[in-house]
């Protein structure tokens, strides 16, 4: 495995994402296998590890349709996206007017622009959907949010065009089925809650249940049997540690900046990093 070194500006996540790994990326990098074939990230979210690792070949996916559309638009139409983002306004009235638009009525560029704008200006950068699958986070009241980060958007676009990448909007299980022996799969699912109120796991209308966590552990074992390198992040709970008792479990300290309670933001939590190698 070789890493890319020719990008003038290193790309970084273009949206703030619940459970994002910017604060942990150095720890994650230190646990990446020294060599592998393709990089898989089935819960890609903001893509912090993807952008830091810069693999030559990658398969990324997410169940969030708006997020994946944004990745594709940044790859293929970044200048149109930048022009669209520059037109947005940081006012409460404008925000709610944009939020009310059905994204499926927009072009891919307009849709990506709406998605990034809402992420940059909504309360606490929190992505959340109601039972109808509609984005429902209130206005953030930030004085001067950076709605259009031209330099980073171009860096992300350049990176996505310089590597061999597949970008999918699908369930993580479909992506995992594509992985073969020698591939590296990083699983960063919605975390199992440490209490009934302490964790945010409802990124979309379907959520991620205890049964989903059990199913994910079976997928992890199947990837292991196939000869993949597998790494998984999750909450430090007995339930999770029991599911992966036969694998290497590290406890790591993480700061979380998205929380429904302001006094919990930025506080250190202990998470687990689970690997089969």
Tell whether 194 is covered by a domain: yes
pLDDT at position 194 is 86
Q: Is 168 found in the same domain as 257?
A: yes
- Structural domain includes residue 261: yes
Q: Which domain holds residue 126?
A: 72-150
Q: How confident is the model at residue 9 (pLDDT cuts 50, 70, 90)?
A: confident
* 47-86 pLDDT per residue, tens: 999 999 999 999 999 999 999 999 999 999 999 999 999 9
Average pLDDT on 129-149 reads 93
pLDDT at 127 over 90: no
Residues 49 and 170 in one domain: yes
Return the percentage of the chain with pLDDT > 70, whole number: 89
Q: What's the pLDDT at 7?
A: 64
Handedness of CA 34, 38, 42, 43 (dihedral sign): positive
Q: State the pTM of this model.
A: 0.90
Q: Read off the CATH number of the domain in which 110 is found.
A: 1.10.1020.10
């Amino acid at each position: 495995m070789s890493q890319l070194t020719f990008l003038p500006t290193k790309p970084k996540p273009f949206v703030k994402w619940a459970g994002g790994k910017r604060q942990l990326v150095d720890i994650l990098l230190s646990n990446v296998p020294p060599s592998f074939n393709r990089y898989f990230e089935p819960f890609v979210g903001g893509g912090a590890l993807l952008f830091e690792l810069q693999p030559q070949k990658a398969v990324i996916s997410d169940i969030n349709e708006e997020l994946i559309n944004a990745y594709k638009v940044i790859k293929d139409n970044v200048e149109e996206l930048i022009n669209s983002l520059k037109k947005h306004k940081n006012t409460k009235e404008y925000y709610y007017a944009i939020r009310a638009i059905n994204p499926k009525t927009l072009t891919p560029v307009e849709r990506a622009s709406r998605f990034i704008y809402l992420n940059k200006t909504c309360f606490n950068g929190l992505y959340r959907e109601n039972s109808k699958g509609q984005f429902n986070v209130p206005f953030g009241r930030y004085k001067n949010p950076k709605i259009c980060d031209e330099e980073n958007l171009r860096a992300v676009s350049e990176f996505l065009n310089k590597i061999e990448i597949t970008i999918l909007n699908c369930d993580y299980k479909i992506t995992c089925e594509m992985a073969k022996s020698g591939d590296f799969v990083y699983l960063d699912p919605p975390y199992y809650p440490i209490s009934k109120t302490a964790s945010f796991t409802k990124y979309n209308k379907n959520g991620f249940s205890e049964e989903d966590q059990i199913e994910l552990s079976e997928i992890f074992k199947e990837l292991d049997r196939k000869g993949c390198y597998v790494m998984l992040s999750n909450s430090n709970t007995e339930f999770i540690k029991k599911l992966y008792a036969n694998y290497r479990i590290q406890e790591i300290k993480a700061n979380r900046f998205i929380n429904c309670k302001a006094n919990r933001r930025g506080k250190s939590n202990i998470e687990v990093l689970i690997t089969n190698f």
